[in-house]
Amino acid sequence: MKAVHFGAGKIGRGFIADLLHETGYEIVFVDVNEPLLRELNEYHNYYLYVIEENYRRKEIDKVSALSPIRDVEEVARAIVDADIVTTAVLADNFPKIAGNLAAGLKARIDVGKSKVNVIPCENALLCGDMLKRELLNTGKITEEELSEIAAIPNTAVDRMVFGCDRDNRDGIDIGVDYELVVEANKLVVPEEEPIKGATYTANLQKYLERKLYTINGGHAWSGYIAHTMGFEIIQDYFAKDENVDLTKSVMREISALLEKKWGFSHEEMMGYIDFAVNRFLTPGITDTISRISRAPIRKLGATDRLAGPAVQCAEYGLPNDLLTKGVAAAFLFDVKEDEQSVELLEYVKDHGIEAAVTRYTGIPKRTETFDKIIAHYKQLTGK
């Protein structure tokens, strides 16, 4: 079996290609990184190192690489011959790969090839729909042709990956845990599983919310709370057991919501919380709070990782005391290099915290959730 994978970065090689390799595919990478292309074509393999297993080395072989700029015709031919196409390029880069991908899919039609799964593996909401739009925007393939030749599901993805230089090669350190969730009903054959190790579902939304609220929300919450405690490195915050317990407690608030809303079992969610927290406790990793907490305005959005679950917990009659404290702490995130932090603090200074909470979270005044946020803010500021 043959796979064409767009994006030979850390997620591409360290996550998606790892699963493709385990499934039995030979992999053709498409990427613009010329030194990496030369290395992949010279050795036809690369190495992953599993962090939790004392950096056990894992070989990914039967690989080659093409340039989307230099090898345009070869990329199209590879797509014609492919049994699956995947991407890990960041969704913002879809316009850059759409031309090559559309040309290859059109060429499949021209030679009478069968419909193929094109699975974008990006950390973006509804990334499959995004990729479809960009393919149509190229003008190289019509909507009817695209539906005829490609099945493009949405996905949810998560794995820790870090670049490393081991064995004098460009390697990647990977976490043992991961999540790749695929919309089964949008595959060529919904009953088949084209990538081993993935989860296939008819209800992607519940998995998207679980990741956004539990992992992304728990990470952001921890960063904002840690910032109010004076920490600069998130691992220093997690070095204290009481802080790990605190983060698990807010995740349990989120878990109660997801169990009630989507029907996840309690045992399943407790396991997922351990999966999420273990990411934060991975040895040898250092991350700044200014980075993980950046862009607070986006993260305070009405449907995003903090305000979203806080409001929904209230709607379901569930506790949200810790979630509302995290929302309040986000309004105290003071990093001069972060444009959103500067805007947020200036708005609070000019208009007051009550106006700011409604403006940036959409939570109306005179609601219990709003009042809790204000109370937490006053407690955190001592005002």
Q: Quick count: other Cβ atoms within 10 Å of Cβ 353?
A: 19
Alpha-carbon gap, residue 162 to 173, rounded angstroms: 5
pLDDT at 280: 84
pLDDT at 279: 83
Alpha-carbon gap, residue 183 to 198, rounded angstroms: 10
pLDDT at 167: 81
Q: CB of 174 within 8 A of CB of 181?
A: no
Consecutive sets of 10 residues in the chain, 383 residues long: mean pLDDT of each? Answer: 97 98 98 97 97 94 98 98 97 96 98 98 92 98 98 95 86 93 97 97 94 94 98 96 98 98 97 91 86 94 96 98 98 96 98 98 97 98 88
End-to-end CA distance of the chain: 64
pLDDT at 147: 98
Alpha-carbon gap, residue 300 to 357, rounded angstroms: 9
pLDDT at 383: 78
Q: Please give the domain boundaries of the chain with CATH numbers for all domains.
A: 2-202 (3.40.50.720), 205-381 (1.10.1040.10)
Q: Is 352 exposed, middle or buried (0-12, 13-18, 19+ CB in 10 A)?
A: exposed
**pTM for this prediction:** 0.86
Backbone angles phi, psi at 176, to 5 degrees: -70, -30
pLDDT at 3: 98
pLDDT at 225: 98
Alpha-carbon gap, residue 77 to 134, rounded angstroms: 21
